[in-house]
Structure 1
């Protein structure tokens, strides 16, 4: 307060002030100085000396205005955003947008890589088959057009399936195709219309060439790609347009063959689900993106309260000497361990969590707690959490104790590597059966016998399934 100054300074938080709602949920300290209902100055940050100077300057200006010695300029409405705010918001939006683009690109790559891996697994087991898809509009006359062509190509129809495809299935089947189907052709599958899928095999194994190339030539002629040569099945099964100049995207096609191996794998997956089922990957939820978030250790109760409010969002947690990953040393994994520690506190301890980014409300709530550190984006979060919460970090202590007790069981051998196990097994085969210790064998508990029995039964069932598969039997005969 200046000497002889009748001015007063009041402080009000923005939490419940509608005019200041744009500052809610922001962890950065923001200071707005208001006079007579107008904003006269705005400052970001926690620079105390700078803030003190600003307050003193504005109090002095207020005195000069009151005495008529000064007229305020550049005053603004409280709800109006300053140039600094606009610039900062644009920069923040740009950072958020780029981070989101990186996350989307990473997620797309994960999906792509998994799809490629699944396709290779299907191809490794069903490589000898070819695929042809007859569109609904050509279903009535395809055999009349193709019967002789199939025979001339040295192929045979091994299996025929009536299929109903929706838009999503068609688009996924065309994922690895450069030439996509037009909306009109995709709509040809809609309204529960039936298509015909042909599973092709060679009529003789002595025929040369890859089966996929043979199928492409059979469908499209020597061009081996759509729209096909003049007398190819592709052209013959294509309805003649009413207008010669009709755009290609409005022309219905009647037949399609996968242009490459990966497309064939997806066609096998969607058109012959029973055949490809053993080689498809199970559907899994992609692992969420996450960030590392650190707080002063005294905020642990609030962190735990939010963790209960948003179950499953905190993927890992721990107490560390610092919240900067390269310098952070683990102190404890649980609140109980931290409270019971015997080390002298430094009051610089941090609680750090691995926080999923799947729930915006959860992210906002944890941001409002005022973290001392937060990963810049998901990419930085992955690096941070690899250091703070390495693989195996979340293994429960009870499980570790249980494993230790089991390894100490009398008569149990020490763990071996795969190579050592193979070597030991080979050596044991040469031993005389009478040399085995009967008493040691009796130490195997009934639970282990039960698990072993279940494993053997599973193997037998799996083998039986494979043996009774008509496709597998043909493969064996080949």
Structure 2
């Protein structure tokens, strides 16, 4: 064969190979925008779309099976595509999911959805839907009328089951949060009751302060006196606390008055010879609590007379929990002189476990302003054991000092997924429910299923006292050691030693004696410390850091 013929055959073979490669590339259309999605839906025949997300990616392992099906069965009646759910609005229900998802469309309608990388099932579904599409074209069958964004019956069933589980989880979390709140209030009430059993706070709104004498006269027959009073502007935060105790004060007019104008804080005290609970006595006198609805006295209670334009004029706690809360609000100095302020409650939280080799990426993400306040604690642990965690160290600096690291080591985060008292913060300051998407994209090894389980897990990872600073022994002053050395030199040269200096050394635990000096030399020679540090650095260089890159993949 001539050289010319050989070259021609080579070019023909190359062109054929390029054609096959191009056909392979065009086997699946790539859809990443709403426009591309809309154009693809107008194609004739059966459309099979592999829906994926940015952090998971399309199902590569099914490409060979799809190609075989298209060549042997589908032909021009079968069109394949991969679609990115993150950037296509119609596919938003598939975002943040790692399960392979296959959509079957025809005539712009959604005819079926298959979940999971089940090759035989996917093949059977393609064959079945191709036959259905042929029957539709012959007029022997009607195509389901379902828009691509609508749920199929199996999807609807799964969505309802998921919603039921979500509702159960929310109810469990709400019950746990309420129980924790009641526990905190009861604990605080008991502590304050030991000192303020005969004390009750009260508050008169700005428009009602002129009626202080009326309030005082009403209380006196019940054995309650106004022991102290002071004007006070609650501010926005204080107004929220009061509104949480009594929803009447959450009215916009009342909240604005409390936040901007001075109210009158009252300190009510029971007379020594009067029996009964001061809260009950005060409420009966001012609000008519305990009186019959038909009682004439109830219709003339002071609280009703102090109302103006539907806005309450007076607040008095209804129980010991409210009394403790309002005492902390109105008289913090008086309470603080006898009882420590309450510890701020921790927000609902979960645990997130990652491989320690991801530590730099994780700490960089959580340093962002929108996430920094949500990371309550973190630490490094020997492995991903949830039941019996083994702490290695509490911060990144200590972890980096470790000479040996391993792939099994983990970094565990305590992440807030809400606030302890939602009524006390602005809605915009409440973090979204669930773990942050920025961390989910990194593929955590474990995430607490809800805040109830998260609280249990975090208590094992971060027990009480975890965040308290570690106390380090104070090193001995090198200046004193130098002084001792000079004293020794003077003694060797025959010089006299000042008696005052000798007494000072004796008072310092005999540091001027030979024994004390020897002890100082053992504990820390500056040169020795530097050499020791250098040796440690050299030793670190000889170890391989197994936790700076992902663990090896299985072969």
TM-score range, shorter chain: 0.5 to 0.7
2:156 corresponds in structure 1 to 86
1:123 aligns with 2:190: no
Distance 1:234 1:251 in 2: 16
Work out whether residues 161 and 196 of structure 1, in 8 Å CA contact, stay in contact via their aligned partners in 2: yes
Deviation at 1:122, TM superposition (A): 3.4
Rounded to whole Å, the distance in 1 between the matches of 2:74 and 2:289 is 92
Shift of 1:320: 5.0
Q: Does 1:355 align with 2:421?
A: no
**Per-residue CA distance 1:5-38 (angstroms, 9 max, x = gap):** 4637744142333432321222333232445655
Q: What is the rounded CA distance, in whole Å, between the counterparts of 1:21 and 1:41 in structure 2?
A: 17
The 3 A distance-change label for structure 1 pair 375 and 146 is closer
Quick one: higher RCO (CA 8 Å, sep 6+), 1 or 2?
1
In the alignment, what sits opposite 1:54? Answer: 122
1:55/1:300 Cα in 2 relative to 1: closer, same or farther (>3 Å)? farther
Seen in structure 2, the aligned counterparts of structure 1 residues 230 and 279 have a Cα distance that, compared at 3 Å, is farther
* Distance in 2 of aligned mates of 1:317 and 1:104: 28
Are the aligned partners of 1:20 and 1:79 in contact in 2 as well (CA < 8 Å)?
Answer: yes
Gaps of 5+ in 1: 241-247, 408-436, 444-478
The alignment covers a number of residue pairs equal to 395
Q: Please give the alpha-carbon distance, in whole angstroms, between the structure 1 residues aligned to 2:446 and 2:120.
A: 26
Structure 2 CA distance for partners of 1:186 and 1:215, relative to 1, 3 Å: farther
User: Residues 234 and 253 of structure 1 are in contact (CA less than 8 Å); yes or no, is this contact kept in structure 2?
Assistant: no
Instruction: From 353, 372, 392, give the equivalent of 1:311.
Output: 372
Deviation per CA, 1:163-217: give whole Å up to 9, x if none.
567898688569778x989979979976848557363453xx5x25247289549
Does the CA-based 8 Å contact 1:220-1:227 persist in structure 2?
A: no
Q: Residues 368 and 94 from structure 1, CA distance in 2 versus in 1: closer, same or farther, beyond 3 angstroms?
A: farther
CA distance in 2, matches of 1:229, 1:58: 79
User: Contact conserved, 1:116 with 1:262, CA < 8 A, in 2?
Assistant: yes
Where does residue 43 of structure 1 map in the other structure? Answer: 114
Correspondence for 2:278 among 205, 212, 216 = 212
For residues 436-473 of structure 1, give each alpha carbon's deviation from its aligned partner in whole angstroms, at most 9, with x where no partner exists: x7342879xxxxxxxxxxxxxxxxxxxxxxxxxxxxxx
CA spacing shift, 1:280–1:98, aligned 2, 3 Å: farther
Q: CA RMSD in A?
A: 5.6
* TM-score, reference length from structure 1: 0.59
- Structure showing greater Rg: 2
CA distance in 2, matches of 1:253, 1:4: 80
5+ residue gaps in structure 2? 1-67, 419-430, 477-505, 513-555
Assess, with a 3 A threshold, how the Cα gap between structure 1 residues 301 and 33 changes in structure 2: closer, same or farther: farther
- Cross-structure match for 2:352: 293
Tell me, what secondary structure is at the counterpart of 2:352? strand
